Amino acid sequence: MKWWQSSVIYEIYPKSFYDTNNDGIGDLKGVEKKLPYLKELGIDAIWLTPIYLSPQIDNGYDVADYRTVDPMFGNNQDLKELIDRAHRLNIKVILDMVANHTSDQCIWFKESKKSKDNYFSDFYIWKDPKPDGSEPNNWAASFGGSAWTYVPERSQYYLHYYASQQPDLNWENPLVRQYVYDAMRYWKSQGVDGWRLDVITQISKDLTFKDVPTTDSNKKYIPLKNTSGPHMHKFIHELNQQVLKPFDMMSVGEAPNSNIEEILKLTSPERDELNMAFSFEHMRIDKAIGKNGAIAVKKPNFLKLKQVLSKMQYELNSKSWNALYFENHDRSRIPTRWGNDTEYRYESATAFATILHGLKGTPFIFQGEEIGMTNPKYSVDEYEDIDLKNKYQEQVKEKHLLTTDEFLKVEHKIARDNARTPMQWNNKKNAGFTEGKPWYKVNPNFTEINVESDKLSKKSIFRYYQQLITLRHKEDILIKGDYQELLEDDKNIFAYQRSWKNKSWLILVNMTEKDLSLNELHDNLKNYKKIILHNYLNQKLEDILKPYEAYILEK
């Protein structure tokens, strides 16, 4: 077993974690200061979202210099000290490599845009306009509008899958790849243990650059299936051979749109690509196409959740390794999204945690998840995310596809900013996040929901997470045990067995706020006498599963 297979990894969004110099922005010294808190929680590794020099158009996912820590977070020495301190506490450190694109403020791009024949000209993807001067094709950018922006100096357009300030790198150019690998080796020399690889499945482009076929004449720009391009596996394998393998660094790739076959290819050890990949499919169970084609949310389809997660468990078992998550900096808070963030906040937070941490794979926790933080209900001007702002402009202001209320109804459930509000440490000023003016509005519910009061509560979500993590460290069955789904057709109860050697565990979770009868499971249940973990205070298995009740039981 590799260290990351028996680990629980904690994702930190440094900007919103803890501020030590009172400029209102979280910093690396803040992360260092909170290491004892993370040790107490029990996690084995931290993943820091990008901390490099950046104009912060997309909160650091627009890198201007891969080798320099942005002054807002501190400096390179602070990162070194954080890594050393973490290592002394036996906590590994994972950085985020954003290598599909850079910032337009990166020196490579600044040079590239000057002419067609300088050293950096070919570092990005440049194309001539169509004869009428328009974009080279109809590809849409993820954050709205065209995926191409015109630069007069070159009389050409450059490609950007995200904002125009995030030009895509040209991975076909071997020099680009060497520059990226070198940056990763540099951080290895500073002690970094592994990588989360941002949208790594988008690095290889469709080199025909053809229009996406469409019948919709109203739409000028069409979303492209922009993952798994022709050279993706070749490039990732090369990255593996030149950086990950020789320097023994762990890797988890972000894999939007990849199906299970692709995930298997990316993560099967004999292919020497990545250790793990974040799949997206299970996070789509509440997404729908709404009015005028805009994204909408619907009641989560838990049957689908069970099917998708179970399929991953079966298919990856013994062939590769799962990356398990429900929350991250691009997703919203689970108690609000799938559970009940008022009456059953504790129960629903711990119920979904039990489902996730009972599975085979490496669980990832996003900051604040361990105290059941919830989505705030912000107004449009209280959101900060470029993606949301652009969508609002396009869908509400320009095209009138939705009203502001309709737009907000969706975003209150799924906006990325829901996860990016400052960490709630206590009930004092700014939730104890900063003494200054927070860069982003603190969720007003911090007076009730915060680390300090959670730990004092009888129903502590933090303590429940501690128990889940301790179990993973103590019990081989959670790491190595086979998975077997039960009650496949039940849309309310998630039930599965894990078995290892002569041990068998049952994970049993009510995903609703209704009382549910356990009749169907009865014969099976009789065998499971010992309660390993339970999110209600009584210590007896009854015939009814109460709202969001969750058990781990042993035969």
The residues of the shown chain that bind ligand NOJ, judged by CB under 6 A, are 58, 61, 98, 162, 198-199, 254, 329-330
Set 254, 330, 347, 384: catalytic member: 254
Rounded distance, CA 317 to CA 5, Å? Answer: 13
Upper half-sphere CA count for residue 7 (Cβ side, 13 Å):
26
Biggest CA-to-CA distance, the chain: 75
Query: How would you classify the pairing of strands 156-159 and 9-12?
Result: unpaired
Q: Which of residues 25 and 545 has its CB atom nearest to ligand NOJ in the complex? A: 25
Q: Which of residues 280 and 314 has its CB atom nearest to ligand NOJ in the complex? A: 280
Q: Which of residues 149 and 512 has its CB atom nearest to ligand NOJ in the complex? A: 149
Q: Which of residues 11 and 135 has its CB atom nearest to ligand NOJ in the complex? A: 11
Q: What is the 3-state secondary structure (H, E, C) of 401-466?
A: CCCHHHHHHHHHHHCHHHHCCCCCCCCCHHHHCCCCCCCCCCCHHHHCCCHHHHHHCCCCHHHHHH
Q: How far is the CB of 52 from ligand NOJ (least distance, A)?
A: 12
Rounded distance, CA 163 to CA 62, Å? Answer: 9
The answer to whether residue 448 is catalytic is no
Please give the residue whose beta carbon sits closest to ligand NOJ in the complex. Answer: 61
Helix H or strand E encompassing 531: strand 530-534
Sign of the dihedral through C-alpha 400, 402, 408, 413: negative
| Cβ–Cβ < 8 Å for 471, 552 | yes
Q: What is the 3-state secondary structure (H, E, C) of 491-503?
A: CCEEEEEEEECCE
Rounded distance, CA 137 to CA 445, Å? Answer: 47
Q: Which of residues 58 and 347 has its CB atom nearest to ligand NOJ in the complex? A: 58
Set 44, 62, 168, 198: catalytic member: 198
Helix or strand or coil: residue 130? coil
Q: Which of residues 58 and 70 has its CB atom nearest to ligand NOJ in the complex? A: 58
Q: How far is the CB of 104 from ligand NOJ (least distance, A)?
A: 14
Q: Which of residues 198 and 475 has its CB atom nearest to ligand NOJ in the complex? A: 198
Structure-block tokens of residue 548: 């969001």
Q: How far is the CB of 329 from ligand NOJ (least distance, A)?
A: 6
- Type of residue found at 287: K
Residue 197 per-residue DSSP state: E
Rounded distance, CA 337 to CA 340, Å? Answer: 8
| Cβ–Cβ < 8 Å for 188, 197 | no
Sign of the dihedral through C-alpha 28, 252, 257, 147: positive
Q: How far is the CB of 23 from ligand NOJ (least distance, A)?
A: 22
Q: Residue 104: which of 54, 138, 152 has the closest Cα?
A: 54
Q: How far is the CB of 369 from ligand NOJ (least distance, A)?
A: 16
Q: Which of residues 100 and 156 has its CB atom nearest to ligand NOJ in the complex? A: 100
Q: How far is the CB of 163 from ligand NOJ (least distance, A)?
A: 9
Rounded distance, CA 259 to CA 280, Å? Answer: 9
Report the length, in residues, of the chain.
Answer: 555
The answer to whether residue 23 is catalytic is no
Q: How far is the CB of 162 from ligand NOJ (least distance, A)?
A: 5
Q: Token match 């993943």: residue?
A: 47
Catalytic residue annotation: 198, 254
